[in-house]
Amino acid sequence: MDQFIHHLKQRQLSSKTRKDYEKIVMRMGKCDPIEFLKKTINSDTPIGTVLPIRSAIKHYLIAEKGMTEDEANELLPKSKGVPNRLRDSLTEDELDTYRQESEKCPEPIRTILLLLPETGMRINEICSLRRTDITEKRRIKGFLFRGKGRKQRFIPLNTRASTLVDQYVEEQYLGEDWLFNGYKGTPIKPDAVRKWTRKMQSKFPELTMLSPHLLRHTFATNALRGGMDLRTLQALMGHSSIETTARYLHPDAQMLFDALRAIE
């Protein structure tokens, strides 16, 4: 197990991903990895559940059994499973309600909540931003940071987001390393942000599905609706595979309604 944990750290996976993989391997115990995988998943298992289990077993085979990545991939059965349930995005009216309610939150929660649907960033990424991550490329202001998998990514800021960042830095920034400070010099925790989205869920029936991930989905849906191509969206979202980005191609309820209204 120690070799496995060391291997995951070397791969520079996020702490959450490492913990998830460690829990999977602990569940496996002394079972044969391949047999454990076959018993744990079946054709009815959601693909979002299949992939982390398969990845954890692959890393275990590399770390503990001395296999190469190609050897592990060859040995593991092909991933099967039911596609994840499609998530709707917020409608324009719901997004307006969300923004109005976000304005009432204390800093830095307010700025983070307002930036999420403007940037499409993962909640862990935005909470871990440093002041030095605010930069310019070709006179375009944005965040330059290392996201999931420690891959460097540049997120340009639109006018609304740029104004939010400028206002926050001028009025709220404490002059420390982390852009959004939490407890005793640490970055703010994602759960501190989720607490406020849960409050909105309970207050507004139309926001019952609200979460930081839904706001990321809302960004992607709005980007596609605005004509952004899939490759550009893939770069902005930080997806390793364009197949992951392609999930957002499915029209949401608002798109379907607009399409039907257009042919009335």
Q: Output the pLDDT for position 163.
A: 96
Q: Does the active-site annotation cover 6?
A: no
Q: Output the pLDDT for position 132.
A: 95
88 domain-assigned: no
DSSP class of 79:
P
90 domain-assigned: no
DSSP class of 226:
T
Q: Output the pLDDT for position 253.
A: 58
The answer for residues whose C-beta is within 8 angstroms of residue 66's C-beta and 6 or more apart is none
What are 137's strand-pairing partners? Answer: 140
Q: Residue 64 maps to which CATH number?
A: 1.10.150
Global confidence as pTM: 0.68
Q: Does the active-site annotation cover 104?
A: no
46 domain-assigned: yes
Say if residue 66 is in the same domain as residue 156. Answer: no
The answer for residues whose C-beta is within 8 angstroms of residue 16's C-beta and 6 or more apart is 124
Q: Output the pLDDT for position 240.
A: 79
Q: Residue 130 maps to which CATH number?
A: 1.10.443.10
Say if residue 166 is in the same domain as residue 227. Answer: yes
From 18, 54, 59, 216, active-site residue: 216
Taking only the tens of pLDDT, the chain with its 264 residues reads 778 888 888 877 777 788 889 998 898 888 888 888 888 877 667 666 777 888 888 898 898 888 888 888 888 876 655 554 555 789 899 999 999 999 999 999 999 999 999 999 999 999 999 999 999 998 899 999 988 777 889 999 999 999 999 999 999 988 889 999 988 889 999 999 999 999 999 999 989 889 999 999 999 988 888 888 888 988 899 887 777 777 776 655 565 556 556 665
Torsion, CA 216, CA 219, CA 222, CA 227, rounded to 10: -110
Q: Does the active-site annotation cover 148?
A: yes
Q: What's the number of domains the chain is made of?
A: 2
Say if residue 51 is in the same domain as residue 16. Answer: yes
Q: Can you give the length of the chain in residues?
A: 264
From 148, 184, 217, 250, active-site residue: 148
Q: Output the pLDDT for position 201.
A: 93
What are 144's strand-pairing partners? Answer: 154
DSSP class of 174:
-
Q: Output the pLDDT for position 263.
A: 60
Q: Does the active-site annotation cover 146?
A: no
Cβ(131)–Cβ(178) below 8 Å: yes
92 domain-assigned: no
- Reading phi first (left if > 0) and then psi (alpha if -120 to 50, else beta), residue 257 is in alpha
Q: Output the pLDDT for position 260.
A: 58
Note down the domain range covering 103.
97-262
Say if residue 131 is in the same domain as residue 7. Answer: no
42 domain-assigned: yes
Q: Output the pLDDT for position 65.
A: 83
From 7, 213, 225, 247, active-site residue: 213
From 18, 54, 58, 122, active-site residue: 122
Cβ(218)–Cβ(115) below 8 Å: no
Distance CA 46, CA 87 (A): 14
From 60, 98, 168, 248, active-site residue: 248
Say if residue 215 is in the same domain as residue 114. Answer: yes
Distance CA 111, CA 126 (A): 10
Say if residue 247 is in the same domain as residue 151. Answer: yes
Say if residue 103 is in the same domain as residue 68. Answer: no
Residue written as token pair 């839904």: 214
DSSP class of 130:
B
Strand residues in the chain grouped as ranges (E)? 134-137, 140-146, 152-156
Q: Does the active-site annotation cover 216?
A: yes
Q: Does the active-site annotation cover 239?
A: yes
Peptide bond into 108 cis (omega under 30): yes
